[in-house]
Amino acid sequence: MPYQNENDGFEVIVVGGGLAGLAAAYILADRGVEVLVLERGDYCGAKNVTGGRIYLNPVREIFSQLLKDAPFERHIAHEEVSLFAASRSLTLRYDGSELGDPPYQSYSVLRAKFDRWLARQAEKKGAMLATKSRVDDVILENGVVKGVRAGGEELRANVVIACDGVLSLVSERAGLRKDIQPQYYAVGIKEVIEMDRKAIENRFNLEGEEGVARLFMGDVTAGMFGGGFLYTNLDSISLGLVVSIKDLLENQREVIVSDLLERFKQRSEVSLLIKGGETVEYSAHVIPEGGFNALNSLYGDGILVAGDAAGFALNIGVTVRGMEYALASGYYAAQTVLHAREKGDYSRATLGLYRQLLEDSFVLKDFKSFRDALSVLNSPRLFQHYPELLGNILRDLYWIPPGPKDRLYSTVRRYLGVREVWQALGDVRRMSKI
């Protein structure tokens, strides 16, 4: 009797009502599986933080119906990247009809709103949601996960899906996590700044529900690996920084991360953008950015791991992505459970299908393609030297001296000596790994 629940508990327990967990619960409930979601916050999204934006193309097909009515903020129709040096900046803007016409590839998003909505969709399909429920431990019998302990209760299940975020205490207890290494993690800190909708649209030249995504590199992180971001929401701006925890720990100037954000806000280029707005929330979260090499074990006997808990976030410089991987890994975890349920077997061998599904999807393909991204991108030359160099060249090109102006070629040539070009070629060669 494969469908019978041998444990006298639930068929499936999902730990964590974020994107991965809710995606899994939504799919499973839709197929008639009894699934309980345990969320430690007052509501889903209460403990979640994103920068943030979500890219839809990779998950459009698997969640075609679901995402149609999702409460996104603005579709991103304008991209800007700025290189900051101490007292100047240089900005590149990318927009036009290929970004501004539907289907839109990415949206700004606020998690408290989005996750609560997603939780309702899963509940409508029949998933059970228990909020304010912290999971304290897993029930392990002979190395097999048989459920979880929460609030003094034993909750048994055929299979547990650990979607409890980047620190994943559940997969740690199940023995699936690697040792913590600070170089594989970044901290994101963010303010949500409320601003009148019309003021946002006027200030950023937005038409209707268009939005802008801006990235800032260089001096904003005091040259440490990371960057700043700004996303326009409907009635607010998300402004923040992502910084490598290892670089922060080793920074000789003893720069404090919260001061970095204050200094970033005080930059004239930034303060003008948020002028008149009112900060309504300050949040922070660890981001797994170690990529393929830092991924934790994805499954064990009676357990699957999805989303940030597995390490599914990817920093490739111009994009830092996590939410699509969370949704997709939740989806594939659910598919794996459906298969295991069919067989009536939740052993490690059967659950290994999860790895295969992820290998065949964009999830692990991306992680393999970009497995060297962190080591290639984490170079002070990218975050200090090039912003400075480009700024110097631009300054001299724009500079009109009291006397005669240098020829353009010699202006540029001055900065691009043999040594510089040689080193730049080396950087390009390293870049070829990603």
Partner 1 sequence: MSLTTGLKSKLGLNVFKESSKFHIRIKEGKEKDPRLQKAVLVCPAGLYSQNPEGEVVLSSDGCLECGTCLIACGRELLDWEYPEGGSGVQFRFG
Positions in the binding site for partner 1 (CB under 8 A) = 40-43, 45-50, 110-113, 115, 131-134, 136, 150-151, 166-167, 169, 180, 182, 185, 187, 189, 191-192, 236, 245, 248-249, 251, 254-259, 262, 279-286
Q: Residue 146 or residue 285: which is nearer to partner 1 going by CB?
A: 285
Collect all residues with Cβ–Cβ distance below 8 Å to 264 and sequence separation of at least 6: 216, 220, 228, 239, 241, 270
**Least Å from the CB of residue 417 to partner 1:** 37
**Least Å from the CB of residue 23 to partner 1:** 17
Q: Residue 188 or residue 391: which is nearer to partner 1 going by CB?
A: 188
Q: Residue 28 or residue 242: which is nearer to partner 1 going by CB?
A: 242
Burial class (CB in 10 A: 0-12, 13-18, 19+), 126: middle
**Least Å from the CB of residue 164 to partner 1:** 9
Give the H/E segment covering residue 191: strand 185-194
Q: Residue 57 or residue 181: which is nearer to partner 1 going by CB?
A: 181
**Least Å from the CB of residue 17 to partner 1:** 12
Radius of gyration (C-alpha) of the chain in whole angstroms: 24
**Least Å from the CB of residue 110 to partner 1:** 5
Residue with tokens 């006027």: 202
Closest CA to 267 of 214, 225, 318: 214
- The distance between the two most distant Cα atoms of the chain, rounded to a whole number of Å, is 91
Q: Residue 262 or residue 420: which is nearer to partner 1 going by CB?
A: 262
Distances (CA, A) of 296 to 137, 184, 268, 301, 311: 18, 12, 42, 15, 6
Q: Residue 249 or residue 428: which is nearer to partner 1 going by CB?
A: 249
Collect all residues with Cβ–Cβ distance below 8 Å to 430 and sequence separation of at least 6: 376, 379
Q: Three-state SS for 186?
A: strand
**Least Å from the CB of residue 37 to partner 1:** 13
**Least Å from the CB of residue 19 to partner 1:** 12
**Least Å from the CB of residue 49 to partner 1:** 5
Collect all residues with Cβ–Cβ distance below 8 Å to 402 and sequence separation of at least 6: none
d(CA 177, CA 175): 6
Cα separation of the two ends of the chain: 49
Q: Residue 180 or residue 272: which is nearer to partner 1 going by CB?
A: 180
Give me 13's structure tokens. Answer: 């327990």
Q: Residue 162 or residue 166: which is nearer to partner 1 going by CB?
A: 166
Q: Are 265 and 239 in contact (CB under 8 A)?
A: yes
